[in-house]
Structure formats: C-alpha cells, structure tokens
C-alpha cells in the first residue's frame, strides 16, 4: 500500500476523509486532525479510527441476543457497551446497563441497530413467532 493521509475528527477519532498519495498540504481546520500513514486505503474510513497517535481497526461489539421467542415472551440483547444508542421499531434508547429487553405483541422480525463510536455499528434481529 502507498502512503496516505487521513483526516480525523479530533474529539472522536472518526476518519472523515482519505487521500492517496499522502499530502502534506492540508490547511488547519478546527476539530480536525491530519494523520499520515504508511498504509491504509479508502475502505479504512469505515473500518478504522484514530487514537493514541495511531490508526486502529474499529472494534466489533461482542453482543449476544436471544433466539426466536413467542409473542409476549421477553427477547434480549446482552453485552451492549455503555452509551450505545439502540434504534428499534418504535423508538431509540441509550443503553448504559449492558442489555435491552423487550417483548412483542405481533409475530415478525424486528431489526435493532446499535451505534457507539468507535465500535462498528451492529445489527440484531428479533424473530418473534405466533403463540
């Protein structure tokens, strides 16, 4: 791989732009850190972040979820990192205690999206069967 430049949010380390070949000519922008790297490519914008002077792979959330449940039975996601925003049909909640538990009145599949940078966004699907 060729040398490249990443532009990163100073507060979170989120990579917002990649240029190749590396460039030294970026103007100073408040809240943006310029990082030179010996490797990396455009795909790293989504899969990596900047921390401690290095460009690192974003971690994956190690969550577990319940198997299929019947209508009215509790369905649960565990191992959610504190501060994760969980979006689901009918709402959004910030989880600080490591889990979310819901029950459903109708059979079907319900998608949950878990967001907490620098983690890679996660997705879980609740499968709810008729009684």
Checking if the pLDDT of 57 tops 80, the result is yes
Question: Same domain for 35 and 81?
Answer: no
**Do 52 and 106 share a domain, yes or no?**
no
Confidence band (pLDDT; 50, 70, 90) for 11?
very high
48 and 9 within one domain: yes
Across residues 104-127, what is the average pLDDT?
97
* Whether 52 and 14 share a structural domain: yes
The CB density around residue 19, as the number of other CB atoms within 10 Å, is 14
The mean per-residue pLDDT over the stretch 112-116 comes to 97
Among 16, 34, 57, give the residue marking a domain's end: 57
Based on the structure, what is the number of domains in the chain? 2
pLDDT band of residue 25 (cuts 50, 70, 90) is confident
How much is the pLDDT for 1?
Answer: 59
pLDDT tens digits, 59-103: 999 999 999 999 999 999 999 999 999 999 989 999 999 999 999
User: What is the pLDDT at residue 10?
Assistant: 93
- Say whether both 84 and 125 belong to one domain: yes
Q: What is the pTM of this model?
A: 0.85
Are both 50 and 85 inside the same structural domain? no
* Pick from 53, 33, 40, 56: nearest CA to 4: 40
Q: Go through 80-96 and write b for each residue having 16 or more CB atoms within 10 A of its CB, e for each that does not.
A: bbeebebebeeeeeebe
Domain stops at, among 13, 40, 57:
57
Question: Same structural domain for residues 79 and 118?
Answer: yes
pLDDT at position 102: 94
Q: Are 64 and 72 in contact (CB under 8 A)?
A: no
Residues 43 and 68 in one domain: no
> 50 and 76: one domain?
no
Q: What's the CATH code of the domain at 73? A: 2.60.40.10
pLDDT digits over 30-53, tens only?
999 888 888 888 889 999 999 988
Residue at which a domain ends, from 57, 73, 93: 57
Is there a single domain that holds both residue 76 and residue 123? yes
pLDDT surpasses 90 at 26: no
Residues of the domain holding 22:
4-57
């Amino acid at each position: 791989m060729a040398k490249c430049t990443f532009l990163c949010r100073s507060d979170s380390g989120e990579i917002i732009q990649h240029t190749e070949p590396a460039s030294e000519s970026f103007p100073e922008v408040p809240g943006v850190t310029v990082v030179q790297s010996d490797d990396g490519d455009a795909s790293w914008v989504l899969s990596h972040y900047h921390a401690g002077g290095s460009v690192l792979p974003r971690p994956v959330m190690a969550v577990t979820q319940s198997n299929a449940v019947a209508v009215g039975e509790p369905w649960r996601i565990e191992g959610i990192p504190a501060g994760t925003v969980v979006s689901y049909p009918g709402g959004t909640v910030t989880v600080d205690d490591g889990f979310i538990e819901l029950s459903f009145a109708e059979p079907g599949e319900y998608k949950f999206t878990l967001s907490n940078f620098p983690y890679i966004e996660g997705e879980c699907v609740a499968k709810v069967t008729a009684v």
